């Protein structure tokens, strides 16, 4: 990451620490884990809170076409920088809490995956719930998955919301090589989670 990108991150963090949610950009190790399930080069993908674009770069490296990737970023400075850094990728400057109020980003086609860098546990529960509801009810297809990282060793989505929406969460890994160290979770609808019941479970170990 360039010095200019690091300074952009620092300025955005100083302006709104709750929105940024971390003291340093996500590491390449975290980007590798949170995008590890995404293999098809033709499936549409949405990224929430891309910040300086660490996950965006990993998604493009995995073969996601630029025209099949939409970035949702609330911070205007990050949004401008992303548009300059990733030409051909659609950048929407908007609050992800409004996902439930927008149209589908890919015409009639919904996303196969949503990768989220938004700090759900650092925001009011109502806002976090609006993001999850909007993602699943409006933008993800039936067999789609949402990937979310968190710095705390617990599920970043309240159990009550998992039950209400019929979602199953699995912790797919832990990244020590990140500041702070991070856990990654995958969320799916229960009927697409191999018959598992509503709730959250831990599974895999260290990813560095």
CA distances from 116 to 34, 46, 132, 156, 191 (A): 9, 8, 10, 12, 22
135-170 burial, b at 16+ Cβ within 10 Å, e below that, comes to bbebbbbeebbbbbbbbeeebbbeeeebeebebbbb
CA distance 42 to 15: 37
Question: Under DSSP, is residue 200 helix (H, G, I), strand (E, B) or coil?
Answer: strand
pLDDT of residue 205: 46
CA dist., res. 45 & res. 70, Å (int): 7
The overall pTM is greater than 0.75? yes
Token reading at 38: 């995404």
Q: What average pLDDT values come out for the chain (208 residues) when binned by 10 residues?
A: 56 54 74 93 93 94 96 94 96 97 95 95 91 97 96 91 94 93 96 68 54
> In the prediction, which pLDDT does 208 show?
41
């Amino acid at each position: 990451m360039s010095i200019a990108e690091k300074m952009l991150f620092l300025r955005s963090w100083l302006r709104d620490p709750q929105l940024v949610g971390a003291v340093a950009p996500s590491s390449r190790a975290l980007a590798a884990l949170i995008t590890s399930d995404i293999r098809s080069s033709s499936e549409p993908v949405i990224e929430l809170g891309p910040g300086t674009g660490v996950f965006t770069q990993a998604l493009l490296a995995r073969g996601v076409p630029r025209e099949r990737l939409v970035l949702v970023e609330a911070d205007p400075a990050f949004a401008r920088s992303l548009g300059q850094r990733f030409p051909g990728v659609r950048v929407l400057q908007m609050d992800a809490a409004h996902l439930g109020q927008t149209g589908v980003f890919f015409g009639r086609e919904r996303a196969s995956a949503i990768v989220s860098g938004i700090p759900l546990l650092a925001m009011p529960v109502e806002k976090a719930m609006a993001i999850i509801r909007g993602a699943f009810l409006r933008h993800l297809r039936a067999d789609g998955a949402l990937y979310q990282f968190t710095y705390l060793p617990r599920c970043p989505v309240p159990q009550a919301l998992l039950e209400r929406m019929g979602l199953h969460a699995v912790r797919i890994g832990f990244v020590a090589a990140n500041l702070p160290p991070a856990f990654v979770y995958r969320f799916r609808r229960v009927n697409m989670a191999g018959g598992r019941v509503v709730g959250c479970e831990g599974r895999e170990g260290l990813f560095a």
